[in-house]
Amino acid sequence: MDVMLWVVLPYVTFAIFVVGTFWRYRYDKFGWTTRSSELYERRLLRLGSPLFHLSLLVVIVGHVAGLVIPKSWTEAVGIPEVAYHFVATWLGSVAAVGLVAGLLILIYRRRTTSAVFLATTVMDKVMYAMLAASILLGSWATVQTQLLSGGIGYDYRETISPWFRSLWYLQPEPRLMEGVPAAYQLHLVVAFLLFALWPFTRLVHAFSAPVGYLFRPYVVYRSREGDVRTPRRGWEPPTGPSPRGH
Amino acid sequence: MTGEDTLLRLGRHLRRGEVSDDLRRLFLEGGRDGDAFYRDRWSHDKVVRSTHGVNCTGSCSWKVYVKDGIITWETQQTDYPSVGPDSPEYEPRGCPRGAAFSWYTYSPTRVRYPYVRGVLLRAYREAKARTGDPVLAWAQVTGDPETARAYKSARGKGGLVRASWDEAAEIVAAAHVHTIKEFGPDRVAGFSPIPAMSMVSHGAGARFVQMLGGSMLSFYDWYADLPVASPQVFGDQTDVPESADWWNASYLIVWGSNLPVTRTPDAHFMAEARYRGQKVVVVSPDYADATKFADAWLAPHPGTDGALALAMGHVILREYLVEGRTERFAEYLKRFADAPFLVRLEPLPDDAPASSGGPGTLAPGKFLTAADLPEHAGEANAHFKTVLLDADGTPVVPNGTLGHRYGEADEGRWNLDLGGVDPLLSVADGPGAPEAVAVALPRFDLVPQPGDDAEEHLGGAGVVVRGVPARRVGDHLVTTVFDLLLAQYGVGRPGLPGEWPTGYDDASSPGTPAWQEELTGVPAAAATRIAREFAQNAIDSGGRSMIIMGAGANHWFHSDTIYRAFLALTTITGCQGVNGGGWAHYVGQEKCRPVTGWAQYAGGLDWTRPPRQMIGTAFWYLATDQWRYDGLPVDALASPLAHGLFAGRTTADTLVESAQRGWMPSYPQFDRNPLDLVDEARAAGKEPAAHVVDELKAGRLRFAVEDPDDPRNFPRVITVWRANILGSSGKGNEYFLKHLLGTDAAVRAEETAPGRRPKSMTWREEAPQGKLDLLTTLDFRMTSTTLFSDVVLPAATWYEKHDLNSTDMHPFVHSFNPAIDPPWQTRTDFATFHTIARKVSELAAVHLGVREDLVAAPLAHDTPDELAVPHGTLTDSGLPMTERELIPGVTMPKLVVVERDYPALAARMAALGPLAARAGMVTKGVTFSPDEEVRRLGKLNGLVAEGPTAGRPRLDKDTHVCEAILALSGTTNGRLAVQGFEQLERRTGRELADLARDDQARRITFADVQARPVGVITSPEWSGSEHGGRRYSAFVVNVERLKPWHTLTGRQHFYLDHDWLVELGEQLPVFRPPLDLHRLFGDTPRLGTSAEAGVVVRYLTPHSKWSIHSEYHDNLFMLSLSRGGPNIWMSPQDAEAIGVVDNEWVEAVNRNGVVVARAVVSHRMPPGTVYMHHATDRTVDVPIAEASGLRGGIHNSLTRILLKPSHLAGGYAQLSYAFNYLGPTGNQRDEVTVVRRRSQEVRYE
């Protein structure tokens, strides 16, 4: 069971994520979109969308810090566990509040604005469920094990983080996940499912975040590079013998 | 350096490509692979020119794009010939509806295969198996009451099943053959409107129906688009300026017409003319779309427009012709109007009531004619030569009257040249003092005293006594029409007796601005100001004041009086016949510019004459048994000064009399098969006409109109194509369903009680249901009509056939062309009718053979028939047929025997017959002789090789017919235009042919109009001139070339003296308010009250922005742009009264039926009036009605047919019949309904 959840599932998810994204990019470029509904509703979106996305950026940074950076490194630069925990928990909690609030606004908007709801696909709904579950479980894990448990809380940097890194060394250590609180385990499983869905939802827009706009001149000229269209049958350029008769 | 710049500079290092120095531009190479997609998306294989035959009047040419054999989209053509350097161009033309059309090609609503009603098909197959013969099978199916009942009651309830073309055509053909044999060809009818919108498609079916002997039903009057005032005033029907001529107007009143919505591609001329300084006044009760263009907006109460126009006339007459004399106006009136002509003043009868001024009071009577002058009495047509006074007071018979139009004696004198005569506009202008006499004039604007029976009955009619100057000519006391006009308009002059207003602010006397304010709600000052501006502009600009008018003012019961008041404004100010001036009446796509060729082809006139053409309104009134619910007493409409011709009679009785006198056509004709009538006569060795007269005299033969519920008189077979009568024009929809079709209907009215029934008609206790045996519809989409049809034949769309198109709005003729072949099993209308005709011919060989048919033809306008009833005086009014003197062509219809070669029908339809050249082609009194053209068509189209039509030019392809129509019309063939004008030159003695001589060698061919739209040639078929590239405006030829109008005096008429108009009190323009339906029909609640938990409101059905008639309502694109489905627009006040908020379901109920719709609550609407947009089909979002338990109806579920006797008057001068020229209108604006909120839980089944 541990192997299934903590070895097979991550690698399968990774495979689906990578292959799926490639497939989507290859075959559905016109569907590569946020499916923006700003046209239908603006007021709530202006509030909910930045709240959600900016909080998400903080959360992502927190996850990177917690999962990728080994505990030994932070200790090496003189950050004691207590300090790390304090920063991670409180910054994480603030971001989680923002994230959940943003999500609730967006879901409320999606459900109550009829035009937006009509523009919601089944895939959108599944994705929303996964996204919401993943966020709520993550938040709950933080609240349960870090805030309510007293002391310095559960130290996932001893278990989850090394396991996560072990996946990347291709020497997975599922044993590390034994005894990890259920809230974290659930959060992880749901997160894997979310990543497996990712390529098939509007979440692909994450790869197209318009970061470049900050650095790009606003008028772009693209000159033609050869003929952009394959000639139709019978209209190919002449390929006969050259005039010199070689 | 700003922060952004820092970021951009940083970006330079992060990407490839060159960045400009100002950091604004980035240059990259490649990355354009995505282009290929868009290039392919918008690539296509071919572009084909076509248009939309949807009676929108736009007549826009379109590019249709085809890719891989599929029609993909359409865009506007841009190659209209230029209008010239001083005007905006016609291009661009188009609208979103046209741009959405290609959706239909492959839409779910497309009819792809022939369908037959399942119950009928089964019965027919069984009968055919029994009898082995299609005609006998049809006889069995329809002859057995139970079988007939079964399939008729299934109409409109689904159950259409696919059949083969062969079988469907056989059923249709068998029905025709059986009906002709058993009941007569006049029991066959065809309905297809607006030839101009696709002339060949119309013509092919009309040719089939009329060559059979069936009747084509008129549509213009039936649509209530026909302005009866046009024949009354001009003796011509709807000759109007093209839209580019709006540019030439410097003052424009837009009255009851919503240009941006209903003239979308033309409205730009108005917007552009405003930049040229044109002033635009919009008159509309609601905040219509046109209003936003207006400099001034007048919002009269619906239907009161006539009062506003009369008050404006009052101001203009007073200020510009009485207090100050505008020479331009006076000269125009003397020459181009009946204003100077003399009218006899006749004393009221001895029993005249005191309220009318009492015995001895005078009333205007008949025109004084040459017959009244001893020195002229012996002249030809003396009764039709009207008289005026020369400046010295001597009576003169001027040229140009109706009497000069016919006969050898007056050749060259039918013109408006007054020679040295200077007519007296008023008899007071002449030497010596005239007498001042009081005349009684009717008025209809009074509020009846409740409880006073007599007054309630007359409904606010009364008399106003006013004086006119008069002189004696011989024994006759006469005055001029102009003098009467001043009296009618309340413009007093010193020394005249009678009751006159004290000033513009006197509301008590009819005609003043204050008087109209009480009726219309338009401030008196505004009416006065607009009137002055209109007249002053006419002076300053030389007549360039124009009134665009339309259905908003024209669809009323009394619209003829409203329009006459409008036309008086343009005539008094001398604007008629001037570019940029005059009336501009726009309703349907009426102008079939190549009219002569079309009429020849469609009527089958090249083979047999005359065709049967029936007034649509009367046909449906009888066929749908609406007459049984009507019983409207004519007394209730009559003038208090009437002579009693209508006493005790209903409007239906006037229809009967009009038919009997040959004033209007009437088919089904007699209560006997007209084929049998001839056989009987031949057997008895008598002339068929004499036989008919004898039978009528003896009372053995009666007109079918006298007993429309006799099964012998039912219309049996109707074919509908290019039309959607049950979804669009069918006034009294529920009566159609109940009596004509015999299926479920929501009729709520009681039949007329015995006291009110028409006395000249037979009342059968049991009203028939399901009179019609076969309803066949050709269409490319499922409509309300196809749903009720027995046979539905799949038609080609406008992008799948060859055809011709023209309109009033521009001077071009252009083409339809197939972008693809008709897909699935669809066929063009042309191919379909030829398919059916071949079947008919096949079956006819056994069942019909060659027969003789007796056609009772009405007394026709523009022929000597219009001399039948001198002075429009009836000497035997009220006598039954059996006691009248019956002279065919004078006191009754002409009786003409026509040979019908049924086995040769199909062959003849497909060939140009000999009569076109041998007997000539007549349009508006001009006879064209197309001998050369027929020879040329033989070469162009080829000659028929064999069979009964061997050697005749071929017409077996739609392109052949296009060529024939163009070759046989003056507008598209310069030789014929010149020929016609030369003929008119001989009659008028005026130079005319030069208008077309430049174009004498031009022959517009079908290839020409396929290449691009082609402007037409000036021709005597119309009254305007395009000569020298000028814009078309009506009556320009009359004014500039002194060619008479086709009226009694040869001038524009203010005054009408036909007996029936005298009875109605409508000799002069007069205000008649909308009908008080509560008073006329007890079952209609009073306006403005509450009933059945709803509000009682006026119910109007104007046009919508998202459709053209019923077309496009169901189109996905238009549904996306609008709410879709049936809507009723109402004011916030009315909505609040019944507790309705926007978009809630409401139900509108009246005596005629019920309709379910969503409420659109809008401030645009005036309180007390609701709109339901015309012609939302019952195919989209129509739930079950609470009131009936049936599907919730359509807009016409609440309307019905009401006949006005003045529309039925005939046999006299311009009041004579011609197809779509004159006839009773299917008016529907006077209707009233109760609207209430209904349960919001709607069910669809």
In a domain, A240, yes or no: no
* Residue B736: Cβ-neighbour burial (10 angstroms; 0-12, 13-18, 19+): buried
Count how many Cα atoms sit within 13 Å of the Cα of residue B1117 in the half-sphere of its side chain.
16
Measured distance CA(B380)–CA(B375) in Å, rounded: 12
Dihedral over Cα of B310, B316, B319, B321: its sign: negative
Q: Which CATH number fits domain B1083-1237: 1.20.1090.10, 1.10.3720.10, 2.40.40.20, 3.10.580.10?
A: 2.40.40.20
Measured distance CA(B124)–CA(B101) in Å, rounded: 37
Provide the phi-psi class of B631: left if phi over 0, else alpha when psi is between -120 and 50, else beta.
left
Measured distance CA(B281)–CA(B271) in Å, rounded: 12
In a domain, A127, yes or no: yes
What kind and span of H or E run contains B447?
A: none
Give me the residue from A212, A214, A228 closest to B32, CB to CB.
Answer: A228
Neighbouring-strand partners of residue B468: B437
pLDDT tens string B548-571: 999 999 999 999 999 999 999 999
Supply φ then ψ for residue B1055, to 5 degrees: -115, 135
Give me the residue from B26, B32, B40 closest to A225, CB to CB.
Answer: B32
Q: Considering only residues 211 to 230 of chain B, which have any Cβ-Cβ distance to chain A shorter than 8 Å?
A: none
Find the domain containing A55 and state its range.
2-208
Chain A residues near residue B26 by CB distance under 8 angstroms: 216-217, 219-221
Q: What is the DSSP letter of B879?
A: -
Domain borders along chain B are 3-30, 241-304+521-585, 338-504, 910-1036, 1083-1237
Give me the residue from A216, A222, A228 closest to B36, CB to CB.
Answer: A228
**In the predicted model, what is the mean pLDDT of residues A225-243?**
72
pLDDT at B354: 65
In a domain, A214, yes or no: no
Least Cα separation, residue B27 to chain A (angstroms): 5
Q: How many domains does chain A have?
A: 1
Chain B residues near residue A230 by CB distance under 8 angstroms: 36
Helical axes B688-698 vs B674-684, angle rounded to 10°: 100
Quick one: closest CA in A to B14, which residue?
A215
Mean pLDDT (10-residue bins), chain B, 1245 residues:
78 81 88 82 94 96 97 96 92 94 97 98 98 98 97 96 98 98 98 97 98 98 97 97 97 97 96 96 97 96 98 98 97 98 90 68 95 95 97 96 96 96 96 93 86 66 94 96 98 94 96 97 98 98 97 96 98 98 96 97 98 98 98 92 92 98 98 98 97 97 98 98 96 98 96 95 97 98 97 98 97 98 98 98 98 98 97 93 96 98 98 97 97 97 97 98 98 98 97 97 98 97 93 97 98 98 97 92 80 87 95 94 93 96 96 96 97 93 94 95 97 97 96 95 91
ipTM over 0.90: no
What kind and span of H or E run contains B979?
A: helix B974-988
Q: How does residue A228 score in pLDDT terms, banded at 50, 70 and 90?
A: low
Chain A residues near residue B10 by CB distance under 8 angstroms: 215
DSSP assignment of B740-778 equals: II-S-----PPPPPGGGS-TTSPPPSS--S---SEEEEE
Q: Please, what is the average pLDDT of chain A?
A: 89
Supply φ then ψ for residue A67, to 5 degrees: -95, -40
DSSP assignment of B1093-1143 equals: TEEEEEEE----TT-BTTBTTT-HHHHHHS--S-EEEE-HHHHHHTT--TT
B873, B945 contact by CB (below 8 A): no
The residue behind tokens 């020119």 is: B49
Helical axes B165-182 vs B118-131, angle rounded to 10°: 70
A96, A144 contact by CB (below 8 A): no
pLDDT tens string B1105-1133: 999 999 999 999 999 998 889 999 999 99
Mode of pairing for the β-strands spanning B1127-1130 and B1169-1172: antiparallel
Q: Which residues contact B53 (CB under 8 A, 6 or more apart)?
A: B197, B198, B201, B722, B798, B803, B805, B816
B940, B959 contact by CB (below 8 A): no
pLDDT tens string A128-142: 999 999 999 999 998
SS3 B1084: coil
Supply φ then ψ for residue B343, to 5 degrees: -120, 135
**Per-residue CA distances from B788 to B112, B141, B153, B773, B1210 (Å):** 17, 18, 10, 12, 36
Token pair, residue B765, equals 């206790």
Q: Which residues contact A174 (CB under 8 A, 6 or more apart)?
A: A2, A3, A5, A6, A7, A163
Residue type for position B950? A
Q: What is the DSSP letter of B709?
A: T
Chain B residues near residue A232 by CB distance under 8 angstroms: none
Are the beta carbons of A215 and B34 separated by less than 8 Å?
Answer: no
Give me the residue from A30, A214, A228 closest to B35, CB to CB.
Answer: A228
Distance, first Cα to last Cα, chain A: 71
Instruction: Say what the pTM is.
Output: 0.90
Token pair, residue B276, equals 């040229």
If interface means Cβ-Cβ distance under 8 Å, which residues of chain A face chain B? 29-30, 212, 214-225, 228-230
Residue type for position A139? S
Mode of pairing for the β-strands spanning B70-76 and B395-396: unpaired
Mode of pairing for the β-strands spanning A219-223 and B25-29: parallel
CATH topology of domain B910-1036: AF1104-like (1.20.1700)
Q: What is the DSSP letter of B274?
A: H
Instruction: List the CATH number of the domain containing A48.
Output: 1.20.950.20
Are the beta carbons of A222 and B31 separated by less than 8 Å?
Answer: yes
Among candidate residues B752, B786, B558, B749, the one with its CA nearest the CA of residue B1199: B749
Q: Considering only residues 12 to 71 of chain B, which have any Cβ-Cβ distance to chain A shorter than 8 Å?
A: 14-15, 19-20, 23-37, 39-40
In a domain, A149, yes or no: yes
Give me the residue from A214, A217, A222 closest to B19, CB to CB.
Answer: A217
Measured distance CA(B383)–CA(B871) in Å, rounded: 7
CB atoms within 10 A of CB B472: 10
**Per-residue CA distances from B703 to B64, B656, B696, B706, B967 (Å):** 51, 8, 9, 6, 40
Dihedral over Cα of B243, B245, B246, B252: its sign: negative
Are the beta carbons of B28 and A219 separated by less than 8 Å?
Answer: no
Count how many Cα atoms sit within 13 Å of the Cα of residue B115 in the half-sphere of its side chain.
25
Give me the residue from B7, B27, B32 closest to A215, CB to CB.
Answer: B7
Least Cα separation, residue A238 to chain B (angstroms): 21
pLDDT at A1: 74
* A vs B: CB pairs below 8 A: 61
Give me the residue from A29, A214, A219 closest to B7, CB to CB.
Answer: A214
List of E strands, B126-235 = 160-162, 188-191, 215-217
pLDDT at B896: 98
Residue type for position B459? G
Supply φ then ψ for residue B479, to 5 degrees: -140, 175
DSSP assignment of B631-689 equals: --BGGGTS-TT--STTTT-BHHHHHHHHHHTTSS--SS-BSS-HHHHHHHHHHHT--HH
Measured distance CA(A159)–CA(A141) in Å, rounded: 15
pLDDT at B360: 73
Are the beta carbons of A216 and B32 separated by less than 8 Å?
Answer: no
Determine contact: B8 vs chain A, CB below 8 A. yes
DSSP assignment of B784-845 equals: HHHHH-SEEEEB--TTSS-EEE--SSSSEEEEE--SSPPPTT-B-HHHHHHHHHHHHHHHHH
Burial A190-217 (b: 16+ CB within 10 A, else e): bbbbbbbbbbbbbbbeeeeeeeeeebbb
Among candidate residues B645, B650, B621, B654, the one with its CA nearest the CA of residue B634: B650
Measured distance CA(B630)–CA(B739) in Å, rounded: 15
Measured distance CA(B1201)–CA(B1192) in Å, rounded: 20
Quick one: closest CA in B to A223, which residue?
B29
Burial B1033-1057 (b: 16+ CB within 10 A, else e): bbbbbbbebbbbbbbbbbbbbbbbb
Quick one: closest CA in A to B19, which residue?
A217
Mode of pairing for the β-strands spanning B188-191 and B215-217: parallel
Mode of pairing for the β-strands spanning B70-76 and B115-117: unpaired
In a domain, A243, yes or no: no
pLDDT at B1: 57
Quick one: closest CA in B to A217, which residue?
B24
Give CATH superfamily name and number for B241-304+521-585.
Answer: Dimethylsulfoxide Reductase, domain 2 (3.40.228.10)
